[in-house]
Structure 1
């Protein structure tokens, strides 16, 4: 496959970020420096950076420069511009029922004490109708407890695709005590290192959430 000049610049930037071990928030070389490194014009570099920004790899700060985005090294990327249809939303719920229970089982096998504390604290938040903007989903925390970044990316991707639908679905959960109780039971199974129970409880929970949103 023949790459365009902008695509070659994108690849160069990604390779340099990896080779230099750049972390989220660190600044990239200037547009002029990148143009010299890649032997292209500055408009070509800007085109490449806009594409990387759209992909969630870099963050362009006007008057400051280009920085590594917090999600730059995700294995799986969600299309945040996508507006899913009702049929697609249902398929995504079905996908979560298939994908997340085994993740809960893995969490039970690999969780740390820090993971358990985060899960148990988050489980209590299920009682709240509104959650803060910086709230980390219980389901993402379960994935984090596996220690597998690819699984975290998958769950975050599924939730970000359904961000608006997910927020709306919380309005249908009238029994928040039940929601919290289910989260507590899942966290409890993970604490006991019981993968079979963690998997079953997560499946039951997701199926219950699906019935709530269908009402």
Structure 2
């Protein structure tokens, strides 16, 4: 085996089962409820759907970036001899839980039955590996086309971003949405919805702070669906 080999593949169903067991939902409790209830439990603890992490686990193994690679091959990572495949999977799920729920070290000690040092070392190592996948997964176009030019055959470079925020009562009248307007705000008594169309002259992609896990999940899902 070598760097980039995929040794462990979990189906979304296996990801769902293992993740829920890790956070306290033993098999009997999982079987006693409907599938959608288990999905809701999983999303609460791990933020995205099991299918996202099924793909993410493969991408962590197949990457050629040594610093980002999470190997289950003992020839590549000798620690597998000590902790085993199940141990490495546990640390993988713990890292996702950390990104989704951000528990304190003391909370993690109680939930996962490990020391704060073990939690800290493994979680930060795997979180860093996930972050290093960014150049391989989040790929922006090298050229921005004009989305308002129907004559441009490559005018499909459009990004729609919605920002939902509870606000106080808003008195302004809703603006009529137009594809030629970079930003449109729709308002109601307690909700403000801003629709921004990218690219636009006044905004740069670097100005946005993404919730990394959610964005990663959406992009992986889209990539998986089209492959």
TM-score normalised by the chain length of structure 2 = 0.27
Q: Which has the higher helix share?
A: 1
TM-score normalised by the chain length of structure 1 = 0.28
